[in-house]
Homo-oligomer: A and B are copies of this chain.
Amino acid sequence: MRQTIQPRSGTAFTIKKGERLKVIDPEGEQVADIYAFNEHDKTEFLSSGRTLDYNESIRFKTGSKLYSNLSEVMFEIIEDKVEDHDFLLTPCSVDTFRHFYPDEEPVPGCYGNLVAAFAEFDIPAHHVGTTFNTFMNVDISDSGKIAVLPPKSQAGDFTVFEAKMDMIVGLTACSAGESNNFRYKPIQFEILPAQTV
**A residues at B contact (CB < 8 Å):** 43-45, 47-50, 52-59, 69-71, 88-90, 93, 95-96, 99, 124, 126, 129-130, 140, 143-147
Contacts of A88 in B (CB 8 A): 49, 52, 58, 88
Nearest CB on B from A44, distance (A): 7
- Is A59 a contact of B99 with CB atoms below 8 Å? no
- Is A126 a contact of B44 with CB atoms below 8 Å? yes
- Is A71 a contact of B93 with CB atoms below 8 Å? yes
- Is B124 a contact of A89 with CB atoms below 8 Å? no
Extra inter-chain contacts (9) besides given A53-B96, A140-B140, CB under 8 Å: A49-B90, A52-B88, A52-B89, A56-B145, A57-B146, A59-B143, A59-B144, A69-B126, A71-B93
Q: A interface, by DSSP: helix, strand, loop or mixed? A: mixed
User: Do A54 and B99 contact each other (CB < 8 Å), given the known contacts A49-B48, A88-B49, A90-B47?
Assistant: yes
State the number of copies, please.
Answer: 2
Nearest CB on B from A118, distance (A): 14
- Is A49 a contact of B95 with CB atoms below 8 Å? no
Q: Which of B58, B71, B89 contacts A49 (CB 8 A)?
A: B89
Contacts of A47 in B (CB 8 A): 90, 129-130
In the bound complex, CA of A59 to CA of B90 (Å): 17
Q: Which of B43, B44, B52 contacts A146 (CB 8 A)?
A: B52
Contacts of A146 in B (CB 8 A): 52, 55-58
Of all A-B residue pairs in the complex, the 9 with the closest CB atoms, nearest first, are A59-B144, A49-B130, A49-B90, A71-B95, A43-B126, A58-B144, A56-B146, A57-B144, A50-B90
- Is A69 a contact of B129 with CB atoms below 8 Å? yes
Contacts of A49 in B (CB 8 A): 48, 88-90, 129-130
- Is B140 a contact of A58 with CB atoms below 8 Å? yes
